[in-house]
Structure 1
């Protein structure tokens, strides 16, 4: 009588060797004393991935539990949600690609849709910011130059998101009185300046990590970002002040994004709760995680509010602003993206030169 074996067949030795190279066993996480000071977070004592491993190890660490796991997955899931929600909104709007009309007014060829182009740029800035943040948090232990480059890229993404947010709010969420005021006239240039300052401050916070203390670092990153946010939400500030938040879903969502951002700013400035019990909140619950989750929820609330404002005011956007203004404002988005990228490249070169001569 033959015996049937239920054990899986053994793989050929060459295939096993290839699999070991492609899917290496990840080393366990270590304590803060096992990594250089530049990779440490204040009051977080464990959960650090070893420095200097091959790229594939850090890619596979996406499925490993470490002190960056929550932040990486928060970025990735949020980027997936924002993109999926936008595509669903496009389908509900009747199909096509917002920002581009597949058939022009004369019936021939594609043409730019200036009415919806700011919304498309806003969503692109959100997805770009979240993707850059996920890449930075997942891959930064590779080496110190890689860490610097990735976090400078993350600063560019955050600065671009700030201007994309300002552009969309000024077009879809502002009232005519605000648009015609001095604030409305200077709004986008001021938003561009603040997004550049925020990006530059974030880059500078990463250039000389050994020469900064915790309070200065958090203030340098949070201050310009908070100023940019307060300017960006000025188009809806009057609505939030005058209208009851229960009067419409859009107003409620705008109010919710403000509350979530201010709460996140508190955790960005204050290393709580880990400062009261170092080591207890290493994997889940330290301030960087809490602030990131709150900022992500604020962005999701903001997107939902903008989608509702877009649906409400879409018909009158071109009539109110004019196609030329909308196209110029969107061209400003490209100019801001180029200036942020150029600034990060210059500061990266300066930072690498400073490290080589140290």
Structure 2
């Protein structure tokens, strides 16, 4: 009888030991996951109550333990998970309320992820700076970094960090119109670092917007030289430059306006009854764009003295000598005490000189611009008045 009892004791002890020493394994050992949320599966253990996964980030040595009723888990169930990282995964099972030993560490690598501008926008030419450009979606990414390089000026490189996979060229500082940019995208890892950039994509900014005199006043004779003439509005324009030309009289002059209106009184030495070509360009973000469609304006023939608008502050301007050698002078009569601003532009429309003067010095002001010989446009601006004059340097 004692022998029989001893046999049963050994048999039960053996069963208990084999259960608590049962070891399972991870099926993905030694592999790189195809996706960071790919299922990691342990071998099945009959009658297992729970599976315990012990996961260690080999870069940081941070360990986290997860318990599941099923033999499957994902790294995205960790508190912190990272791309392009090696993890060790160990697994243990609970049988009859007792946890067995962990398996040998199993090495699993998370994928190295790249992204880029989506194919439907690569390459692309934008219609506006605010048009949205999308990168390919990366599940579980914490953010996206856009590296934007001006292809025509490679030193102009800007970095835009976004939580979303979209960005706009209007996020850049002083983006250039009609300009190709290379846009590369990197994924933000969960540790706050960024993975390598993906393939670059050429994104071309929109053409510079143009404008012209509104259709109702294009090829037009105003009732008087003080009649307001309107250019079509452009969103974001800070300056409207209006240029008048008459080739037969060798006439060229322009005025800059903060608003889209002008009148012929702003241009000196116009001939009554003569027709002039007028073009309009706009300045946006400090960049002056091309002129738009040409129209013609015919100077009206008037009898008697034409009135001057009441809101014009400049009443009379005299420039001398013209041509000049080293310096020239101007005198100005005005009905305001506002500061006088003087700008000089060359025939290409580039500003070559700029200064300002208190109204108390408006008589016989000497200007000494260091410019080469040629023809220049001088613009005097005071309050709401702009006066343009053509001058020649010998």
**Structures share fold, TM-score greater than 0.5:** no
Q: Which has the larger radius of gyration?
A: 2
More helix by share: 1
